[in-house]
């Protein structure tokens, strides 16, 4: 459990401060979302050892103290980061890979008892809704306020300059390529391949 928590804290320190040294880890302990990450890992640990009362207490503490609801059965790999925890709701059947970064007000929910699967290295922007039996492929990005009810395929790892962004309502896939941007997205770290959605 402590290794997972330390790995999560390092991932958050790298995200927030581009630094994993002890000073950055101390700063991360005081940032928004960190206690929710720790409560989640403690809940996961209690579940693994069938300590149901501890599991329930950690779940309630996360909900009451951090305004973050993560279902007791949700599984995330190392490097799980809640950048801001307020308003995050994650269904208990969600399975996530390594290095998943989640902003505030994100919902990962079930539809007809089927929940999303989240790949490795995924970023989910503020206010995004990922609903139903869909898969967010490795290294994909969901834009702020995006609503995903369709699968976002895996982004090829072989091209560091090629990333997938699912954005808009309904979500559309946009690819970032060097020198390919439009006037509507030049201020964004990921650019779209066309104009405003029509």
User: For residue 62, what are its two tokens?
Assistant: 């996360």
pLDDT the model gives residue 18: 92
pLDDT the model gives residue 78: 95
Rounded Cα–Cα distance for residues 91 and 73 (Å): 8
pLDDT the model gives residue 75: 95
Cα of 167 vs its chain's centroid, Å:
15
pLDDT the model gives residue 185: 31
Domains along the chain? 2-175 (2.160.10.10)
Per-residue pLDDT of the chain (198 residues; tens, 9 = 90+): 899 999 999 999 999 999 989 999 999 999 999 999 999 999 999 999 999 999 999 999 999 999 999 999 999 999 999 999 999 999 999 999 999 999 999 999 888 888 999 999 999 999 999 988 888 888 888 888 887 766 666 554 444 444 555 655 665 555 544 443 333 333 333 322 223 333
Rounded Cα–Cα distance for residues 88 and 106 (Å): 5
Question: What are residue 144's phi and psi, to 5 degrees?
Answer: -60, 135
């Amino acid at each position: 459990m402590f290794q997972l928590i330390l790995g999560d804290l390092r991932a958050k320190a790298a995200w927030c401060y581009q630094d994993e040294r002890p000073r950055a880890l101390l700063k991360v302990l005081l940032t928004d979302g960190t206690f929710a990450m720790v409560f989640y890992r403690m809940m996961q640990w209690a579940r693994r050892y069938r300590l149901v009362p501890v599991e329930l207490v950690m779940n309630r503490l996360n909900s009451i103290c951090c305004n973050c609801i993560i279902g007791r059965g949700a599984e995330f790999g190392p490097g799980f980061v809640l950048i801001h925890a307020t308003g995050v709701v994650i269904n208990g059947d969600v399975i996530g890979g390594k290095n998943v970064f989640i902003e505030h007000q994100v919902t990962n929910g079930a539809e007809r008892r089927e929940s999303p699967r989240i790949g490795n290295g995924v970023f989910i922007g503020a206010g995004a809704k990922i609903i139903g039996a869909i898969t967010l492929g490795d290294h994909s990005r969901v834009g702020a306020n995006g609503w995903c009810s369709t699968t976002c395929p895996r982004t090829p790892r072989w091209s560091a300059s090629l990333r997938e962004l699912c954005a808009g309502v309904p979500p559309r896939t946009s690819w970032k390529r060097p020198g390919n941007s439009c006037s509507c997205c030049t201020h964004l770290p990921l650019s779209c391949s066309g104009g405003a959605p029509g």
